[in-house]
Amino acid sequence: MTTVPDYVFTPPTPFGVPVKGSNKLFPVRRIYCVGRNYAAHIREMGGDERALPFFFQKPADAIVLNGASIPYPPETQDYQYEIELVLAIGTGGADIAVANAAKHVFGVAVGIDLTRRDLQLKARDTGRPWESGKSFDNSAPISAIHPLKGDIPKSGRIALSVNGTEKQRGDLNEMIWQSDEIVAHLSKLFALVPGDLIYTGTPSGVGKLAPGDQVEGTIENLDTLAISIR
């Protein structure tokens, strides 16, 4: 007979992301993010474009769904946007081969990695963890997930606008590491599990947001992601 766990309080409800063409939700487990994956962004941040990308995480409850209005976060004077392609893992695994990576991806989405840049840079410069700059509440907006049909997209326009003015524009083919390589490498560091999301890095043009801003992120052939800042 199976014993039902008796928790001291009700566990939090899992966070779910809509799936395009379905009434089901994608349950989010972990959110991985790739740093330094577009050469132009590395240059604008003053980094070494020859260095390999690295990974950091956001909590699952940092998710923000399409159309949301989110508050300007506390303790920052430099709140920034970063448009990204998001991979949604549907089949888990460890030490995944690059050639097999697409088989582990359920779908793709548009994401924005919201960043308290001043806190991130202070942490970076003092050798401390990035959580205060990257892993705060409401820092991971995402569109509906489009189920993958075939290979992971390796090209296509990626862009972000603020109040109707384009701020970021690039192409997925500008990634230093393509998505299948990211899945393969990440799976050597962590066993991937269904429900994991991977934000794959941003092109150049990152910049500040302010209360009242209307933000739209687009990736070719995917839904537009729209959020507002209050």
Domain boundaries, the chain: 16-229
Angle, CA 154 vertex, CA 150 and CA 159 arms, to 5°: 120
44-82 confidence digits (pLDDT tens): 655 555 566 789 999 999 999 999 999 999 999 999 999
Tell whether pTM > 0.85.
yes
Report pLDDT digits (tens) over 136-148.
999 999 999 999 9
Residue range 122-143: mean pLDDT, rounded? 94
When pLDDT is averaged across residues 16-27 and rounded to a whole number, the result is 97
Confidence (pLDDT) at 132: 96
pLDDT tens, position by position, 82-102: 999 999 999 999 999 999 999
Q: Indicate if the pLDDT at residue 1 is higher than 80.
A: no
CA 104, 66, 33 angle in degrees (round to 5)? 45
- One of 3.30.465.10, 3.90.850.10, 2.60.40.10, 3.40.50.300 is the CATH number of 16-229, namely 3.90.850.10
